[in-house]
Every structure is written in C-alpha cells, then in structure tokens.
Amino acid sequence: MKYFVLLLIMTVCFVITVLVVKKPVLNISLIKCKGRTIRVESFWLASLMIPAILLAVGAITPLEILRGVTSVQSMNPIKILVLFMSMCFISVMLDKAGFFEYCALKVMSRPEKGQLHLFVVFYAVVAVLTVFTSNDIIILTFTPFIYYFAKNAGINPVPYIIAEFVAANTWSLVLIVGNPTNIYIASSMGITFIDYLKVMALPGTAAGLSSFFMLILIFRRQLKVSLKGPCLNECIAGKTVLKDKTIAIISLADLALCMITLTVGSYIDIEMWIVSLLFAVLLIIVALLVQVYRKYYRIKASDEQHFVSIKDVFKGLPFSLIPFLLSMFVAVLALEKYGITNTFSRVLFSFTDSDLDAALLFGFTSALCSNVINNIPMSILFTSVLNDGGLNSFSSLAIYSAIIGSNIGAFFSPIGALAGVMLMKILKDKGDGFTALSFIRYCAPVAMVSLVISVLVLIPIL
C-alpha cells in the first residue's frame, strides 16, 4: 500500500504538470444547464483524483481526513485558506477599484524619460505593491497592461513582463502574506507575522535587489531602444483615473489597518487568520454600505469610472485553489501515514552538516520540487518533511530556505507556480509568441543568482 500511495500521487502530479504545460489553466466543459456551460479548470479537477482514489482503496479514511483538516495545530489547512482568501479579497477589491492599473499608468506616463528610467520605476512599483498585496493579483493585473503599453510604445514587452514576474516572486518574500506558500509553510510551523518579518526582510530585499541588477544586465541593450512618445501619450491620455476612488481609499485603509493589526497580533498572540478574516468582513460590510448609499441616492459613475460590485470581487477570487490545496493536503496525510515523508525528511537532513549545507539544500530542493509538482503542493509536502525533522539544529534554516525556494522556484520554469501558468495563458490569449523556453532562458539565470544570495544572507540572521 505504501508504494501504491506514492505511485498514485506521483502519477496525478505528473498529469497536472502535463495539463498546465500543454494547456495553461485548461478549461473543461463539465455541466450544461439552461443553455449555459459551466467550465472548470483542469489542474484542480485532476488533483481531486488523489483523495477519490485513496478513499476508494481504503488507503486513508474519511475520519483521518476530517481529523487532519480540523486539527487545532498550526498546519490546519482551513485556517490557512481563510487567511489566504481573506488577503486575496482585499487585493481583488483594490484591483477592481482600478488601483493597480492606476499605479501602472502613473508609472508609464513619463515616456520622455526613456526606457531605463521607465523600467526602474516600473520594477520598484511592482515590488512595493507585491510586498503588501498578492503576487498573483499583480500578474493578472499588470500583464495585459504591459502587453498593450509595449505595443503602443513600439518596444519589446519581454523585459517588462519578465521584470514584473521576477519582482512579484522575489519581493513576495518580505511579508508572510506575499505568497500563499509563505502563508502555508510559516503558519504551519507556528511562525508569527512579526517573527517572519524579522527574519525574511533582509533575505527578501537581497533577492529583490540581486534580481533587479541581473535583469538590468540581461536587458541592457533592449532598454536602450527609444519610446514612441506621441503614440504612447495618446494611449495613456485621460486614463490615469481610479475607477472607484471611494472603494480604493477604503480598501487601502483596510489593508493598512490589517497589516498593523497583524504586527500587533504577533505580540498578543492573535492568530493571523482571525485578523485577516475580520478585516475582509469589515471591508465587505463597508463596501456594501457604499453600494446601498449609491443606489439609494442614485449616484452614477462617470465615463472614466466603474463602481465596484461585491459580486464581481467574489468572482475574481481564486476559488480553484481551495480544492487543489485540500486535495494535496490529503495526499500529504497519506504520505505521512505510510512514513514516506519521514523517510524523505531523514534523507534530506542527513546531508545537512553545516548551516550552508542546510540553507542551500532546502532552498534548491524546494525550488526544484516546485518545478515538478508546483510550489503549492511542494509547500504542503515540505511542511510535513520539516515537521518530521523535529528539533534538528538546522530546522529554522531549513524552514526559511524552503520558503525562499517556494518563491524563487517560480521563475525556474512556468510550472513552478500558478502565477507562471497564468502569465503564459495571458500571453497566449494575446497572441504573443513568448514560449516556455523563452521564460526559462531569461528567468532561470536570475533565479539561480537570487536564490544563492538570499539564502547566504539568511544564514547569519539565524
């Protein structure tokens, strides 16, 4: 049974990998009702095969699954999902209010400064937004804009697309809420918001800065091409307006208060999922009151504006991640039950004879595993592996190095993270000829350098 469980999980992970490589975020027609077709994303549908087969053959019982997902321990996936979805809700609200597009347009509104200036400011804005919001939301919002901007400016969009993706997956290291993998690993290991920040602020900054200089080196020639000013100004003119200024300001205030409370909560022992949920609910209530006020007084949006609808915000949430994460959690429960994660843990820790060994080993192993099974399943697997490592003297280094690998592993290849899959899908829909090999060619060297530098900076901190 032990080897059957391992073979099943490896097979399903391989199927998911093939699906996202061949058809990024492939949609499958599942149900037809009243002339409408309900479509689902294939990657999470395939992941449901794992719990279905494990339950069918008796490899794991419903009671064992129930105990796992309702555990009072930090590894409880329900709490982690609540934390992630709550933060996503705030980010999507900002996105629907036009905040991210507004920031992008502001950055691009000075074409006379030249491409290098544009590139530097653009990278800095993406970095700052990623730290406080969500890397996935940044990718979804900025990629279409970059494509159209580059087309109107007569320049190559590749440097900006790569810069956006790299910035979104390095600066996401700084705060625990920057990436769902940070949330899962750190929360499962009992790491608080402020403890995470104290450790990861410098390695995250080191990863971001080293990535930036690598990008400048790689794209130095392309950034010398001049911009087509008149055409560009025509593209941008009159568009640097927030779609819903009221909701944008409310959402920013809500996010700021949430961050402050998360910091304070680390000292007074308030769980992060409770804080994030409270602020998400608060934002829903205030946004609904604004909607009722506008409807009652018949306030209409101008031509440049579009009032945010709570319904649209909920539609923008990544609900597909819920069955995907829970399915992978069940897979790890089965691996734990049959001692497979324990064996993997003992093998990994047997090679850690020094701090440098532990940091590099867990950093690169987690990054490479992300590109085999995606970084979310990898995070769930490595959480179990790290827990099995017990009180090993290298445990702290292993934990934070795995977090670094889960973020930076996203740009070793497009399948390293769902953000990469989404990026390739957007570009494919736009008819861009950007391929997976192009992605690897530009991003892999940056990943190697930033991963090594960030784990080296991490070592003296711990």
- Tens digit of each residue's pLDDT (9 = 90 or more) over 46-59: 778 888 888 888 88
Residue type at 1 in one-letter notation = M
Q: What is the mean pLDDT of residues 385-414?
A: 84
Give the whole-angstrom CA distance, residue 65 versus residue 51.
Answer: 9
For residue 345, pLDDT over 90 is answered with no
What confidence tier does 323 reach under pLDDT thresholds 50, 70, 90? confident
Q: What is the pLDDT of residue 208?
A: 95
pLDDT digits 0-9 by tens, 165-221: 999 999 999 999 888 889 889 988 889 999 999 999 999 999 999 999 999 999 998
Return the residue matching tokens 């794991």: 60
CA 423 to chain centre: 12
Rounded to whole angstroms, the Cα distance separating 207 from 201 reads: 10
Runs of H (alpha helix) within 29-76: 42-47, 49-56, 62-69
Per-residue pLDDT at 254: 95
- Contact indicator for 409, 419 with CB cutoff of 8 Å: no
Give percent of the chain with pLDDT exceeding 70: 85
Model pLDDT, residue 31: 45
State mean pLDDT over 285-310.
85
d(CA 137, CA 321): 14
Please write the tens of the pLDDT for every residue from 427-453.
776 666 678 888 889 999 999 999 999
Query: For position 343, what pLDDT does the model report?
Result: 87
Mean pLDDT in residue range 68-72? 76
Give mean pLDDT, residues 372-376. Answer: 79
pLDDT of 27 above 70: no
Q: What is the mean pLDDT of residues 329-346?
A: 85
Predicted pLDDT of residue 58: 85
Report how far residue 443's alpha carbon sits from residue 430's, in angstroms, rounded to the nearest whole number.
21
Query: Is 323 exposed, middle or buried, given 0-12, 13-18 or 19+ CB atoms closer than 10 A?
Result: middle
Which residue type does 398 have? A
pLDDT category, 79, cuts 50, 70, 90? Answer: confident
Task: Determine the Cα–Cα distance for residues 154 and 330; give it in Å rounded to an integer.
Answer: 49
pLDDT value of residue 251: 94
- Has residue 29 got a pLDDT over 60? no
Neighbour count for residue 370 (Cβ, 10 Å): 29
DSSP string, 349-375: HTT--SHHHHHHHHHHHHHHHHHHH-H
pLDDT exceeds 90 at position 80: no
pLDDT score of 236 more than 70: no
Query: Tens digit of pLDDT for each residue in 222-233?
Result: 888 877 655 455
Q: What is the mean pLDDT of residues 153-171?
A: 89
Reported for 260-267, long-range contacts at CB under 8 A and 24+ positions apart, including other chains, are: 262/177, 262/193, 263/193, 263/194, 263/197, 265/192, 265/193, 266/192, 266/193, 266/194, 266/195, 267/194
How many secondary structure helices (H) and strands (E) does the chain include? 22, 2
Mean pLDDT for the chain overall: 82
More confident residue, 30 or 312: 312
The pLDDT value recorded for residue 196 is 95
Residue 454 pLDDT > 90: yes
Neighbours of 8 (CB within 10 A): 18
Q: How far apart are CA 153 and CA 227, in angstroms?
A: 5
* Separation of alpha carbons 305 and 176, rounded Å: 33
Residue 419 confidence class, pLDDT cut points 50, 70, 90 = confident
Give the lowest-confidence range in 26-40, 273-287, 300-314: 26-40
The confidence score (pLDDT) of residue 452 equals 96
The residue type found at 122 is F
From CA 110, how far away is CA 118, in angstroms rounded?
Answer: 8
Residue (of 283, 276, 293) closest to 313 by Cα position: 283
Does residue 35 have a pLDDT over 60?
no
Buried b / exposed e across 126-148, counting CB within 10 Å, b at 16+? bbebbbbbbbbbbbbbbbebbbe
Adjacent-strand bridge partners of 37: 32
Across residues 265-270, what is the average pLDDT? Answer: 84
Domain parsing of the chain, residue ranges: 2-461
